[in-house]
Structure 1
């Protein structure tokens, strides 16, 4: 019989998180307690926010069901390794639709993984080779998790950085936010050495180290990290325009693929949404980006973007048209 109540509750919770209904007698036997003690333990779990449903019958039964809030999960070794490997793969290769939430989850999980499991995760990661597309800009998952933890904890972050021209430097920063564009990750941070805001491509960062020194968050000059990144990448001198696009796809699907540059689409129906934004992004780039999402859409504004879309369509059609004498 398990006399350690916290340990017994964790064991009970682990059993209940298996998707099945447990007869009361079987649960009591697994825990080595009486049915009365089992009922008290079930009540304790309910008080902690776990929605445990009881069923009537000769033996009765218990099942963990979905509730209004997400209670803490208890994972066994195999489950923890599987989740960590999956999150590492998605975050490390900047898979489109894998946003900042997955990096935060990976940072939380790796923070509490025992050393033996962390070693298993690293071994599995090293033994697999991904088939990737795009420009091949890969990101070390460890780099993302260190950065995400520094952002969440408002800790100053040191790292080595290689610029586009190959120049290498050491930076001491106050990290503000990680931004994903679908193909790449960027860190928006205040560079203490340059005394200004800077943007760093995460795949060019090595040796990240959270110093432990806390800082007070500064006010972002553009209001948000995504807006600061967008304006820095596409220039500040162009005229902004209002963008309105309707997609024949759910808002959450379009939002995941589009990233955070242009804001969040608003749902119209279960299978359609509308994107409204003010942007100065190049029209040709935007036309290609929208077409690359893979969902039918209609450009309502601006007129210049509709023209750019027709030009892009004509170029693509011309590229596939048979030449004379070669049907």
Structure 2
């Protein structure tokens, strides 16, 4: 049997990871008797944690929201993980940056020296990435509400505005949240379309109250990865062209984003680059940054833009 203080910490961690636990499940996880589980639950209540008793054949427990934030208990790994996550948070969620810094300062102040040194070894400065300025601000309350429905397996209705401005009402079973390229996406089972869908959270407006609970459908990690639509390709740009570059493909590809161009190796020292941009002049200007010889293959507009750029440089 674990030390009582360590066992209570483990019990708290279990209650935080799932909505409902039966007494038998907790007894098995903690390797103690149901009576000991009841005593430990009472101890958590004395510490300020609102643990509710649930009805059922075997009875159970649930950690409910409280009016006040009780003392938080973390083991070493959890404390370091939280501090690192706060320092590296670049999710684009509106209004959380200052709060994250204050939370980091609070946690760092109470960390023991051995853990504080580990956290201080990581110093991160968040820098806006290309294309980040036009991203819609994400309401943290919406993100939290979607996350709670994912955790508690509750149906979620929300109004959604698509890319083209079309509005619709969706009835879903939310599965999980994903972050990609500074944006948050909800992976859900669309009840009206009977299929998996992904929705940008910043375009969602949840409706209250939420729906009934549901049994989660199986979804593999491979399926989750495939649900996210790929970034816009070369064809999405108004100006597109192909050039021959006298440099190894790997030396060029590492600097070309997947939504910007496609690099194909022709031999060890030559590659073909298909690139898109807002204008043909922008394509040439970007390719000149590589400081290697290049030949414009097509279209004629790209050749003309190259001549214009060369004329300005002369």
TM-score, normalised via structure 2 length: 0.39
Higher relative contact order (CA 8 A, sep 6+): 1
